[in-house]
Chains A and B, each alone.
Chain A
Amino acid sequence: MEDEAIVSLLFSKNAEGLDALSAKYGGLLLLIAGHILPQRDAEEAVNDCYFKVWKSIPPYRPVYLRSFLCKVVRQISLDRWRAAHRKKRDETALADLEDLELLAAPVQDDAYEGVGAAIDAFLDGLDVESRTLFVRRYFLWETPASLAQRFGLTENHVSVKLHRLREKLRKYLRKEGYAI
């Protein structure tokens, strides 16, 4: 079923919309949640995601359903992970040690969406391979090993590339006036 049809069903509060959503995107959502949470928690996060989508449509009508779902399940999974690791107050377990510095670093931001827009502009300036690796790693939480296998690269190549991209982003954000 096309995304537009699914959104229309959800908009008219027809439960078939949820079935179609689950059939089409359940695997992808479970994959994203599974990158952050253990399997059982990931399944619960996906169910929470369906519930949140059900509540928010209507009035919200997503233009790109797939990326909307990815954002929702990602945020729910992160919130769940944080709740489970509240005592640690860091995000080290989410990523390899080499990623720690950037992931855990708070970015001082007056306007919450400002950093997101700055990262968007940074991504616009990258070549398609770098952009894909970066988004798959830091938005979809795919591991360097999985990225290497997916794109026929060596794990070392992926790690080095991601390291350089992080450095580049750090410099870019500083230049844009963000303290990181």
Chain B
Amino acid sequence: MKDTSFSDAMGQISDKHIQEAIAIDGKEALEKAKQRERRRRGNRIRRFALPAAACLCVVLAGVLAIRMGNTAPVNPAPAATQPEMEQTEPVLGMDPAENPNSEVQIPNPMQDLGSPEAVGQAMGHAFPVLLDRTPETCTVIQYGPVPAMGRVLYTDGTELAMGPAGEDISGIYGGELVKELTVDDISVSVLTYGEQMYALWDQDGFAWCWYAAQGDSDQAALEAAVREAVAAIQG
């Protein structure tokens, strides 16, 4: 068995911890890092809570549908005594429990809007139009009355997303901080998670996230794209 000095063992810690400690070089940077950590924890809870809530809704809807089916007469009366046709059709404004033919529908939170301009309109802030990039899909994610996130996926596999300011909208938990950039006085965090490289920043009252194409580790290209996006957002 070999004896290793603790100080030598500390020399073997991973690069990510060293990079992080050097990047956090003051009170302000530490506060930002703490906020990011809190957001990630929140996202982690949301990541489990949202699918769980959705599953629960589906199960409840299923149970409700089965129960309503069971309340229908087992041996229907002859056609002459059946209710009128209009009574069997779903009636708007009618309580579903009173309407045996109504269907429980769960709205799709993803809406394809067709263009970045439409995404911007839905989000209440112009979505930047980037030169040399062709949008493939332009979607808005909406759970409640207000859209939660707007995303534009480009044909080269890159993606730009916008969401509420101050939140980690990447949807990635446990990303590793690679670098902190300052672009036009805006602090941008460059992170990686597995083969996914992405950048997060707050600008104009919204949080923004740029995703490099899956497997693309070209950090310089990502930084250039972020600079372009920041400039385009500023208009």
Contacts and interface: CB of A to CB of B under 8 A. Distances in A.
B33 interface: yes
A67 B27 contact: no
Interface size class on chain B is 20 to 34
Interface stretch (A49-57, A110-118, A155-163): A110-118
Q: Is the interface of A mostly helix, strand, loop or mixed?
A: helix
Contact of B6 (A64, A71, A105): A105
Contacts of A180: 6
Contacts of B7: 78, 91, 94, 103, 138
B95 interface: no
Among B1, B12, B13, the most chain A Cβ lie within 10 Å of the Cβ of B13
A135 B2 contact: no
B185 interface: no
A151 B12 contact: no
Contact of A132 (B1, B3, B6, B21): B21
Contact of B17 (A120, A129, A152): A120
Interface string B15-31: 10111111011110010
- Interface of B, secondary structure class, is helix
Interface in A21-54: 28
B9 A135 contact: no
Given A4-B219, A78-B7, A128 B15 contact: no
Interface of B: 1-15, 17-22, 24-27, 30, 33-34, 36-37, 219-220
Interface of A: 2, 4, 28, 63-64, 66-68, 70-71, 74-75, 78, 91, 94, 102-110, 112-113, 115-117, 119-120, 123, 127-129, 131-132, 135-136, 138-140, 150-152, 180
Which 10 A-B pairs rank lowest in CB-CB distance, beginning with the nearest? A116-B12, A106-B3, A135-B21, A67-B18, A115-B9, A67-B15, A64-B15, A152-B27, A109-B4, A128-B33
13 contacts: A78-B7, A91-B7, A106-B6, A107-B4, A115-B6, A115-B9, A116-B10, A127-B34, A128-B20, A131-B21, A132-B24, A135-B21, A136-B21
